[in-house]
Amino acid sequence: TQIHALQVGNEVFDSRPDLTWSLVPAMDNVQRALADLGLADAVKVSTPVGFSAVAVSWPPSDGRFRDDVAEPVMRPMLDLLQRTGSYLTINLYPYFAYAAQSSNAISRDYFLGNPNPGERDPKTGLVYYSLLDAQFDATYYAMDKLGFTSLSAGRGETGTPASGGRHGHN
């Protein structure tokens, strides 16, 4: 049996902050409707969360969600995802971190995932060779800090902007 994902919203915290508090109840309603139809095992509910929900991402072991969404939104969302056998969908855009830096703290090769000496997380000793992998692990650490150590995360959108702007992701 093939499992499908049904995404509710898209980066709601950023695109529609007025709906932030309605997101988890909406996901729960969709989940209950799927269960009523006997589709809860075949279709999993998730929502693409923008990486901006992660307040601290370096080192990845310090990863944590923003205070305004961690307890009131992320905790009940992660609980719903875990109870239903789903996963967190996280949209990762390493380009935005690279473009926003005020110095050359992030090398171009590290940002692009090209061969590079890597960046060591001083707390875990893990070495990261791409900013994308470091951001993904920071998401896992943020989930761990809320007590969801066995929940999976999936990469949603990734990429760099087209035409040099912040819109039109490739």
Catalytic residue list: 11, 157
CA distance 12 to 8: 9
DSSP 8-state class, residue 40? T
Amino acid (one-letter) located at 74: M
CA 89 to chain centre: 5
- The number of beta carbons lying within 10 Å of the beta carbon of residue 118 is 12
Q: 46: part of which helix (H) or strand (E)?
A: strand 43-46
Looking at the DSSP bridge assignments, the partners of residue 114 are none
Dihedral sign (CA 144, 149, 151, 153): positive
DSSP 8-state class, residue 129? S
Q: 44: part of which helix (H) or strand (E)?
A: strand 43-46
